[in-house]
Amino acid sequence: MLALYDSPLWMHGLQFIILAQPIFWTRLYKLELNLDGYATWFHALSIMVIPVIDFLGFGFAYYKPHLFIQYVVLVNVAVYLYRRRYNFKDALCLGFLTVFLNSYYWEIILHLAEYLTVGYYHPAQLVPLWRLVPAYWLHRHYRFTLKGNTLILIGPLFSLAVYLYRTNYKFTVLSLYLMPLNRLVCLLVLVASVLMAVPRSQVTS
């Protein structure tokens, strides 16, 4: 990995950008911009980034290269699905916000297990709660259906099944691929729930 990215200053700077991104995407969502002409470029360039990340071994702290690669893939999947209903600008914002939210949603069972083990929330557990900010924003801007809200339960249940499997079968080949699969399934659940929702700007009553 490039030595430049081992610098604590770079790590803190990049971590700040990653954690602060909901602010940027919620602001961009409000702007009246037509970015539809850039959709193909976005998907093409972001996919081209994957071998670059792999070749450079780009990563720092918790954010390892394989996590960045998964991030790029998940964002592209989310944006592509949202484009089936919304323009590219809205799909782009929703895609990044949903993936950010999913970073907490897919491991909510682990957070619950940690809380039950410790018995209280310690500071290290409170920081990840920032990843729930998109949930509040989505609730303010979309009216979710009963079916969509019920669908949300699938993610934690699937995560629980994965957690139990990995606990009992740690060294199987399947266990190596369950984490990325878990992230993908939970993301698809979130995207489906949002697609079922109605923008509050279109709700008349």
Q: What is the pLDDT of residues 122-141, one digit of tens each?
A: 666 677 788 999 999 999 99
Write down the pLDDT at residue 113.
Answer: 76
Query: Which letter, b or e, does each residue of 59-74 get, where b requires 16 or more Cβ atoms within 10 Å of its Cβ?
Result: bbeebebebbbbbbbb
Query: Would you write out the chain's pLDDT as a tens digit for each of its 205 residues?
Result: 444 445 566 677 777 888 899 999 999 999 999 999 999 999 999 999 999 888 888 776 667 888 889 999 999 999 999 999 999 999 999 999 999 999 999 988 887 877 777 666 666 667 778 899 999 999 999 999 999 999 999 999 999 898 888 877 766 666 667 889 999 999 999 999 999 999 988 776 5
**Any idea where the domains of the chain sit in the sequence?**
3-202
Q: Centre a 10 Å sphere on the Cβ of residue 147 and count the other Cβ atoms it contains.
A: 10
Q: Could you tell me the pTM of the whole model?
A: 0.88
> What is residue 5's predicted lDDT score, i.e. its pLDDT?
47
Interaxial angle between packed helices 133-141 and 88-105, expressed in degrees from 0 to 180 and rounded to the nearest 10: 140
The DSSP line for 32-79 is: ----GGGHHHHHHHHHHHHHHHHHHT--BTTB-HHHHHHHHHHHHHHH
H or E element, residue 143: strand 142-143
Task: Say what the pLDDT of residue 173 is.
Answer: 65
